[in-house]
Chain A
Amino acid sequence: MGSGREAFVAAAAPFRKLTLDTNIFLYYLANQAPYADLVSDLLLRAIRGDVVLELPGMVQFELLIRPFRSGDPNELAVIHKLVRDHPGIESSSISDAVLQLSAEIRARTKLKPPDALVAGSAMVHRSAAIVSNDRDFYTLEALKDVDFITQGRRRLLVPQLLLIDDFADAGA
C-alpha cells in the first residue's frame, strides 16, 4: 500500500459518516487509478459497517446526467445500483431542510449552487467530512461560528474537507 493510500485511510478513519462528492464516485465507476483504489477502500469500510457514506441528492442528479444523455439502459442500471442497492451507501433526497440550509450556505459563502446543495445535504445529515476534489468546499470553514437562521439561530457541525488530491501518490 502506498503512503498516500495509507494517509487517506488514516485521515478518513476517525469519521463515522462521510459525504461523497460526484467526482469521487466517478473515479471509481470509471476506474481511474490511483483514486479508484481510495474509493474502493472507503466502500469496503462502508460495506463492513465501519462508516456510512452519504450520497446527496445533488450527486445523484449529476450521476444520472450521463446515462440519460447516452440513453444507455446499462449505464442507468449502474447508477441505480450504486444509489439504491449498495451496502454502506446512504442516498439522501433534496428535502426541504436540505434546500433551506443550502440556500443559506449559498447566501453566506457564494458557493456554486450544486456545491451548496452538497454541503447542505452533508450538514443536514450530520456528515463529519466531505470527500471531494473541489477546493471551494474550504470556504465552509467560515461557517463554523455562524448561527444558522434556518436552524433557529443554532450552530451546526461544519464538515471538514477531505481533498483527495492531497493524497496524490495514493495507491502507488
Chain B
Amino acid sequence: MSDDEGAARELNNEEVTRRTYVAEARLAYLVNDEPELVQYVTTKLSTKNQITLPVAMARSLGLAAGDEVDLKLEGDMIQIERRPKTPQEWIQRLRGTMAHVPEWQSKDQIDAWTRAERENWEREWDRGEKPS
C-alpha cells in the first residue's frame, strides 16, 4: 500500500468515525435518550470554522437549532454562552451578578460609594478654581 493510499484510508476511517458519532448523537436526540453529560470533549473545526456541540452539552444549556449564543474570547479559550430567550431571562442574566462586591452590600453603601466617587471630582475641582 502506497503512502497516498494509507493516508486516504486513514482519512476515510476518520470520516466513518465522525459519521458514526453524529449518527449516534442524532439517534439519542430523536429517541430523547438523555446522553451522559460530558464536561470536556474534543471536536474538530471544519473548513468553515464550524464545530459540532455534543448533544448532551447543547441540552444542558437548553439549546435548540436556531438559538443564538455569545462567544467570548479569553486568552486561549472561547466560552460559549446561551443568550436569553425571554424578557425574564434577560432580567435574571445580570441581576445580582455584582452582589459579591463588599462596598455594595446595601442600598446605603451603594449610595455612599457613588457619592464618594462624585465628591472626589468636586474636591479636585475646588482645589483649582472654585466657581464664585
Contact = CB atoms under 8 A, between A and B. Distances in A.
Interface of A: 21-23, 26-32, 35-36, 40, 43-44, 47-48, 62, 65-66, 70, 73, 75, 77-78, 81-82, 85-87, 107, 110, 112-115, 133-134
A115 B74 CA distance: 35
B114 A62 contact: yes
B62 interface: no
B124 to A, nearest CB: 9
24 contacts: A21-B114, A22-B114, A23-B110, A26-B113, A27-B107, A29-B94, A29-B98, A29-B104, A30-B110, A31-B95, A31-B99, A32-B106, A32-B107, A35-B107, A36-B95, A43-B90, A47-B91, A62-B114, A78-B94, A110-B131, A112-B122, A113-B125, A114-B117, A114-B121
B46 to A, nearest CB: 27
A77 to B, nearest CB: 7
A48 B91 CA distance: 12
Contacts, number: 87
Interface in B75-124: 87-88, 90-91, 93-99, 101, 103-107, 110-111, 113-115, 117-119, 121-122
Given A75-B101, A85-B70, A134-B115, 13 more contacts: A27-B110, A30-B96, A32-B104, A47-B87, A47-B90, A47-B91, A73-B74, A81-B93, A112-B118, A112-B122, A113-B118, A113-B121, A114-B117
Nearest to A75: B98
Contacts of B118: 112-115
B80 to A, nearest CB: 14
B73 to A, nearest CB: 11
A135 B106 CA distance: 19
